[in-house]
């Protein structure tokens, strides 16, 4: 299992009239956490794309437990529970400044060969860096 953390400060433009984070912005938070999670492993989306790999989201789930508000500093814990194959599933737990779990999410992405536009297995470089977490 691989776990990483990143923080995001809620900006005014991400909130609705009540001052709560607009529900659609959580997908953007997932993306930031996902990109940073891979970066912490030593991989970047840019490098994956240069390897000929694209990673479109094919599933996106959200569970709202409490609202995030303007100027909250959110801590996003990103977890990979399963070794990736053709698909990779990221789970997100979002905590507010009081360390209260306020949101849970999940995205499933598929590895796509950029040249054939067909699903493929994770690139060897990713498998190598994840090996220490999945044996």
Helix (H, G, I), strand (E, B) or coil at 13: helix
- Mean pLDDT across 45-70: 96
Q: CB of 36 within 8 A of CB of 104? A: no
Fold entry, domain 2-134: Thiol Ester Dehydrase; Chain A (3.10.129)
DSSP-assigned states of every residue in 15-58: B-TTSBBPTTHHHHHHHHHHHHHHHHHT--HHHHHHTTEE--EE
Lowest mean pLDDT among 18-22, 53-57, 77-81: 18-22
Domain residue limits, the chain: 2-134
User: Tens of pLDDT along 9-43?
Assistant: 999 999 998 889 999 999 999 999 999 999 999 99
Report residue 135's pLDDT band, with 50, 70 and 90 as the boundaries. Answer: confident
> pLDDT tens digits, residue range 81-117?
999 999 999 999 999 999 999 999 999 999 999 999 9
Structure letter (DSSP) for residue 122:
P
The whole-model pTM stands at 0.94
Instruction: Give the confidence band of 58 by pLDDT, cuts at 50, 70, 90.
Output: very high
Residue 61's pLDDT is 98
Residue 79 has pLDDT above 80, yes or no: yes
């Amino acid at each position: 299992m691989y776990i990483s953390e990143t923080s995001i400060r809620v900006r005014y433009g991400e909130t609705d009239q009540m001052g709560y984070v607009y529900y659609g912005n959580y997908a953007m938070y997932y993306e930031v956490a996902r990109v940073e999670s891979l970066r912490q492993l030593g991989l970047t989306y840019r490098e994956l794309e240069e390897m000929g790999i694209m990673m479109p989201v094919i599933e996106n789930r959200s569970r709202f437990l409490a609202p995030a508000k303007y100027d909250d500093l959110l801590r996003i814990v990103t977890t990979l529970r399963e070794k990736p194959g053709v698909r990779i599933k990221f789970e997100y737990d979002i905590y507010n400044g009081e360390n209260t779990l306020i949101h849970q999410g999940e995205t499933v992405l598929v590895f796509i060969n950029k040249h054939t536009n067909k699903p493929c297995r994770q690139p060897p470089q990713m498998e190598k860096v994840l090996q220490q977490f999945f044996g």
